[in-house]
Chain A
């Protein structure tokens, strides 16, 4: 238990000054601008927006600068800021089929309409350090090729779903989806609520859980049905207008995972799906989210659910790195009263043990005297 402490104002103020000093670093170097962070450390910005659960590139860049690159601290800062803002309402659901895609691949289907578009990917790099980046230089613009912009990009899954081999995506109930920012997490959680939790969940935690399913802890033979990354419009109905307008264009990454399913007595054998969605370009996150989403459907699909990734309470209650980091890191704060009470208990226990030993020794001594 944590008991509030008083005092230390000056030391804390000086500690804050010291952070500010360390944040600035060598004054001989140019100070980092938010534009530089946004443009040149864009994937860090994407992660902070995704797990901070707030799309605003400039705010995320500011949080990264303030946190000196500690992304989990930056996520915390962004989450704290969003609590100061009023809620205007809910957007219309994002139509990712209307995406202006920078990347779109399927690892399951070779010939997809619209083709396999690699976009900016690290997948085929050799992971060799590129020392040419160590010095500033002019970098050429990326090459272009004729593109078809007249047609939308249909989801790969929908093509297979038409044959009945792949389960259709769950139908809209017409009800507003549950919202974790308005009501606390409760169990059992429905799929929309689970997806909201996973969407803002820690990438490392979901990555490890997704990996665990692949290694046999709840395996369901996943294939990447499709990954796409690009720009989608955000439609919103302002209360004053009563009709939808587009208020922004945002970048999102989407992963539709296709998994083997043996069927149950209601459903014939078919492929099932897991879904992942992240702000910006965040494929590792989107894939991990899709794996865990599918794993958490075990009960719904009448599969055995005995692995960590299939345990809804375990996964959803521990996925949030703001909560996790807060609770783990609060251990650093003064626990003097708490520790003092434990100290008293341990001293008392030791004294009792000591006294028992003493007593036993005395008893043994008196017994041996009696025997003589």
Chain B
């Protein structure tokens, strides 16, 4: 399934939920998933598989790319009985999380599930991620300094 089959808005929505779900803590995602209730039956296309992604850095932060080192990534794929195929790609070796993400990705493509997935799972997780970032920034802000250069005057 290539991106050409989606309109840009649909791709953006899918990109958002896949990103939010992948970056969520596994236990928290699992709790929200359990609370979602019964979901349509599905077949597993790809059991969780762990591999590596080479992380590229940029020289001086924004220049030419270089290989900075790898990270572990786990992926999974499912198909709903109604035909939607969902993919999960998550950093680390979180097989269970990759499966949940794949299922939610498939569900999100169904009209009647999209809002439920968004309001009950994606939106709360996005809010929590933002709160984590705000806390990091607030703790960092408490360590902000003003350095004064003490210039020695002649004769003092």
Contact = CB atoms under 8 A, between A and B. Distances in A.
Contacts of B142: 142-145
A313 interface: no
A184 interface: no
15 contacts: A88-B52, A96-B58, A101-B137, A101-B140, A103-B143, A142-B139, A169-B60, A177-B56, A192-B59, A196-B67, A199-B57, A236-B73, A238-B75, A247-B73, A250-B71
Interface in B91-139: 91-93, 133-139
Interface string A126-163: 00000000000000001111111100000101100000
A158 B62 contact: yes
What's the interface size class on A, roughly? 35 or more
Given A54-B72, A246-B19, A275 B136 contact: no
B29 interface: no
A323 interface: no
Contacts of B2: 242
Interface stretch (A114-122, A325-333, A336-344, A348-356): A114-122
B73 A170 contact: no
B51 A87 contact: yes
B11 interface: yes
A116 B147 contact: yes
Contacts of B51: 85-88
Interface residues of B, number: 60
Contacts of B53: 87-91, 234, 236, 247
A102 B141 CA distance: 8
A54 B145 contact: no
Interface of B: 1-4, 11, 14-15, 18-19, 22-23, 49-73, 75, 77, 87, 89-93, 133-147, 149
Contacts of B60: 155, 157, 169-170, 256, 273, 275
A317 interface: no
A193 interface: yes
Residue among B2, B66, B89 with most chain A CB within 10 A: B66
A59 B72 contact: yes
Contacts of A120: 143
Question: What 10 pairs between A and B have smallest CB-CB spacing?
Answer: A248-B91, A169-B63, A192-B66, A169-B60, A55-B71, A246-B19, A147-B141, A144-B138, A147-B137, A145-B142
A142 B55 CA distance: 31
Given A55-B55, A238-B87, A82 B66 contact: no
Interface in A219-250: 230-231, 233-234, 236, 238, 240-250
A57 B69 CA distance: 14
B64 A170 contact: yes
Contacts of A248: 22-23, 71, 73, 90-92
A181 interface: yes
A195 B63 contact: no
A249 B128 CA distance: 14
Nearest to B130: A149
Contacts of B59: 169-170, 191-192, 195, 275
A240 B70 CA distance: 21
B63 A170 contact: yes
Contact of A146 (B52, B77, B89, B141): B141
A171 B89 contact: no
Given A110-B149, A117-B141, A88 B57 contact: no
Given A236-B53, A275-B59, A88 B75 contact: yes
A310 interface: no
A82 B62 contact: no
A177 to B, nearest CB: 5
Contacts of A279: 69
A173 B65 CA distance: 9
